[in-house]
């Protein structure tokens, strides 16, 4: 019987799961939308109902006796307060929810190091400080922590990636002293484990619910963003992943951490390496302002990727850029406009590719290794003409992404934990 590891991705719209072999090939996958269990995607009971349904669907396609480990990723910065039994005490604050208490925000701004990822109204630390006032509170958990707790019964442990925005010091691998100086009750913060390390085993209830063996390891997971990077197969320093979605996001595996608040850059720890990256305001949403998807596909067929338009565009949907240029007043540059729609689209694709190249250059200037290869994910990755333009601009090898599913990246962590526990 070939052993399997399970990766679970709980996102804003649904739950997804992947069963993976030790050679990283995928044995089965399943997905269930949150809306099947209610309109409130903030309700943890809806999260769990979706995860339960997803796994039951997944297990209908595999031999569940082959399962050796389970890991979970969740949306970064989503937190909820729980009692000693892991029961939520209030509605979670989601990744993009803001804490409106100015005293909390001012205290963090005054006390936290400039390079900390805990700054800002959406930070995990601001939410933890807000939640700690609740009577009967036992712990403040991240979304992935709480889901993992349904398997292990542990509601006191997190991972290094989810904890970063809550103020965790990934370099020293500890909660820093300055958090207590803010008035945070540090006993409410979870213990922090390395992603891919074993944090427990299945409870009897979880094993019975899914028909699994009690020996199945529960493994520390990660954020959805880190999981998506891991899913591509990028594993060596200098390897980059570009996400071509509504915005442009680039990430590179580095041998040292990079923290550049001006550009919104901080680094997640992945084993002995670091994942650094930035997000530009350019991307697919700019293209969508001018062309439908069908029109983009049609025009792309008429583009010669080997030649340059000579136009120096900086495509933005509106004024303001964060990375690789930090300028809240930067104006879009989309003129002059060629007569040909195909040339206009080509110039925009060239402009976004140039921003991508500048982004990797900026990361190198800040201390990451030089880019050695790129894997691409997101809708734009399917555009062959754009890929050729990007390949010419970046001048590095373009490698296939093994998967673009975050659950596949989390399954890789589950495999690490199964290996550590001697279950493979």
* Domain CATH code at residue 193: 3.30.420.40
Measure the CA–CA gap between 355 and 248, rounded to whole angstroms: 9
Measure the CA–CA gap between 71 and 270, rounded to whole angstroms: 15
Do 240 and 367 fall within a single domain?
yes
Do 89 and 208 fall within a single domain?
yes
Do 214 and 240 fall within a single domain?
no
The pTM score is: 0.95
First vs last Cα of the chain: how many Å apart?
A: 11
Token pair of 172 as six digits = 């020293």
How many domains are contained in the chain?
A: 2
Do 169 and 260 fall within a single domain?
no
Please list the pLDDT of the chain residue by residue as tens digits (424 residues): 899 999 999 998 999 999 999 999 999 999 999 999 988 889 999 999 999 999 999 999 999 999 999 999 999 999 999 999 999 999 999 999 999 999 999 999 999 999 999 999 999 999 999 999 999 999 999 999 999 999 999 999 999 999 999 999 999 999 999 999 999 999 999 999 999 999 999 999 999 999 999 999 999 999 999 999 999 999 999 999 999 999 999 999 999 999 999 999 999 999 899 999 999 999 999 999 999 999 999 999 999 999 999 999 999 999 999 999 999 999 999 999 999 999 999 999 999 999 999 999 999 999 999 999 999 999 999 999 999 999 999 999 999 999 999 999 999 999 999 999 999 9
- pLDDT for 173: 97
Pairing assessment for the beta strands 198-201 and 217-223 based on DSSP bridges = antiparallel
For residue 274, the enclosing domain spans 234-399
Do 177 and 289 fall within a single domain?
no
Do 54 and 182 fall within a single domain?
yes
Do 329 and 345 fall within a single domain?
yes
Do 12 and 146 fall within a single domain?
yes
- Residue 312: which of 375, 358, 264 has the closest Cα? 358
Do 187 and 326 fall within a single domain?
no
Backbone angles phi, psi at 35, to 5 degrees: -60, -15
Which residues in 166-182 are b (16+ Cβ under 10 Å) and which e?
bbbbbeeeebbebbeeb
Do 382 and 416 fall within a single domain?
no
Give me the helices (H) in 330-378, please: 341-366
Do 311 and 208 fall within a single domain?
no
Do 346 and 305 fall within a single domain?
yes
Residues 390, 391, 396, 399: what is their CA dihedral angle, to the nearest 10 degrees? 100
- pLDDT for 1: 80
């Amino acid at each position: 019987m070939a052993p399997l590891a399970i990766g679970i991705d709980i996102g804003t719209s649904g739950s997804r799961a992947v069963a993976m072999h030790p050679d990283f090939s995928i044995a089965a996958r399943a997905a269930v939308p949150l809306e099947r269990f209610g309109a409130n995607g903030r309700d943890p009971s809806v999260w769990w109902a979706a995860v339960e349904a997803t796994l039951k669907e997944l297990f209908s396609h595999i031999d569940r006796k082959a399962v050796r480990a389970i890991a979970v990723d969740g949306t970064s910065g989503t937190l909820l307060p729980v009692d000693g039994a892991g029961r939520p005490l209030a509605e979670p604050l989601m990744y993009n929810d803001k804490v409106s208490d100015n005293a909390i925000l001012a205290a963090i701004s005054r006390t936290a190091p400039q390079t900390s990822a805990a700054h800002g109204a959406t930070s995990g630390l601001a939410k933890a400080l807000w939640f700690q006032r609740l009577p009967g509170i036992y712990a403040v958990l991240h979304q992935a922590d709480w889901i993992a707790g349904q398997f292990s019964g542990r509601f006191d442990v997190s991972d290094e990636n989810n904890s970063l925005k809550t103020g965790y010091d990934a370099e020293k691998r500890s909660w820093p002293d300055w958090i207590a100086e803010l008035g945070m009750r540090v006993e409410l913060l979870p213990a922090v484990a390395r992603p891919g390390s074993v944090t427990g085993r299945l409870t009897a209830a979880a094993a019975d619910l899914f028909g699994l063996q009690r020996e199945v390891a529960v493994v520390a997971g990660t954020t959805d963003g880190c999981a998506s990077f891991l899913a591509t197969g990028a594993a060596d320093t200098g390897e980059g992943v570009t996400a071509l979605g509504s915005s442009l996001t680039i990430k590179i595996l580095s041998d040292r951490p990079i923290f550049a608040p001006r550009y919104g850059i901080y680094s997640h720890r992945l084993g002995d390496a670091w994942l650094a990256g930035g997000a530009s305001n350019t991307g697919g949403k700019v293209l969508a302002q001018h062309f439908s998807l069908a029109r983009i596909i049609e025009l792309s067929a008429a583009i010669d990727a080997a030649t340059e338009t000579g136009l120096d565009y900086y495509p933005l949907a509106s004024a303001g850029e964060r990375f690789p240029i930090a300028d809240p007043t930067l104006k879009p540059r989309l003129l002059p406009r060629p007569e040909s729609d195909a040339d206009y689209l080509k110039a925009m694709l060239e402009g976004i590719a140039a921003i991508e190249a500048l982004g990797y250059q900026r990361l190198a200037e800040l201390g990451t290794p030089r880019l050695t290869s790129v894997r691409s994910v997101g809708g734009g990755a399917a555009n062959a003409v754009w890929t050729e333009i990007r390949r010419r601009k970046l001048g590095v090898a373009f490698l296939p992404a093994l998967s673009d599913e975050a659950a596949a990246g989390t399954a890789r962590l589950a495999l690490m934990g199964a290996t550590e526990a001697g279950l493979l």
